[in-house]
Amino acid sequence: MRNVVFIPYIKREDSFTKSGVGQSNRHKGYDYGINSWKQWCNKHNCELFVLDELLVPESQMLITWQRWYVLDILEHNNIDYDQVLVVDADSIVHPDCPNFFEMTNRKFTTQLTDGDFEWVSRAINGYSNLFFNKKWCLKPYEFFQTGFVIINKDHKPFFEKVLDWYNKNREEVIKSYDTLLTGSDISLMNCLRKEFGVEMNLLPKQFSLMDLARKNLLYLEPHNWWADDLTNLYNSGWIYQFNAIPQSSMGRDRSYWMGRIYEELY
């Protein structure tokens, strides 16, 4: 029985919401992330599982929701897992990253969202009002990343309740993507964790570093005052999440950074 790194990676062909959730170019550069996780897993005797086929069409359920069938998927594939990291494909792990599976206390382990707090607050408020008749299901400082979550068999009842809730509210959830414009599953997963009383274990920030551009860790424009190298990034964390990267006049998009960082590290 081994620990598993589980990565959803569907190469989409078309966009299917007005807000662009599911747009076809989102997978660009993801192979670098998967290759980094493959090498980290080999080093730490873990198994890598890439979900590359949809369970149902994304018009019924986005892949971000389908990934929460993770434990059922592993069992269906006869994988005898211990703990499971569900991580986004647009992430790269440093080859020297310590084994975070040893730091979970066997609890629902994750990292807090450390980015645009206006977006987080708007998302919590919007979904709390729409589905739970509340102003705030939780506070922004409790809002975890759905792109880095470690779970085990003890959490299967929680995900069963989550997916049952989704299926009962599917039509309204799908409509919400284009009305609230705050992502797909992340806000509701946060609300549901709070509503169902699941305790979180938080890893230090360096185990899932996000919003890299706002932290001035990427050189995006010729007028940036810091050096065009990645020393500060590598000193700041072990796992890099490539979200919210703005347009760059130098053409440095997510795929550029994932390729450059992967080639430097590996």
List beta partners, residue 92.
240
CA 47/CA 6 separation, integer angstroms: 8
Using alpha carbons, list the distances in angstroms from residue 202 to 81, 141, 198, 209: 21, 12, 13, 13
* Residue-averaged pLDDT of the chain: 94
The percentage of the chain sitting over the pLDDT mark of 70, rounded to a whole number, equals 94
Using alpha carbons, list the distances in angstroms from residue 218 to 94, 131, 231: 16, 38, 10
Q: What is the pLDDT of residues 195-233, one digit of tens each?
A: 999 999 999 999 999 999 999 999 999 999 999 999 999
pTM of structure: 0.93
CA 161/CA 5 separation, integer angstroms: 23
Q: What is the pLDDT of residues 152-192, one digit of tens each?
A: 999 999 999 999 999 999 999 999 999 999 989 999 999 99
Three-state SS at 85 = strand
Region 119-141 average pLDDT:
96
- Of 185, 200, 152, 118, nearest to 3 by C-alpha is 152
The DSSP bridge pattern shows strands 2-8 and 47-51 to be parallel
- Tell the burial category of 151 from Cβ atoms under 10 Å away from its Cβ (0-12, 13-18, 19+): buried
231, 2 contact by CB (below 8 A) = no
CA 64/CA 20 separation, integer angstroms: 14
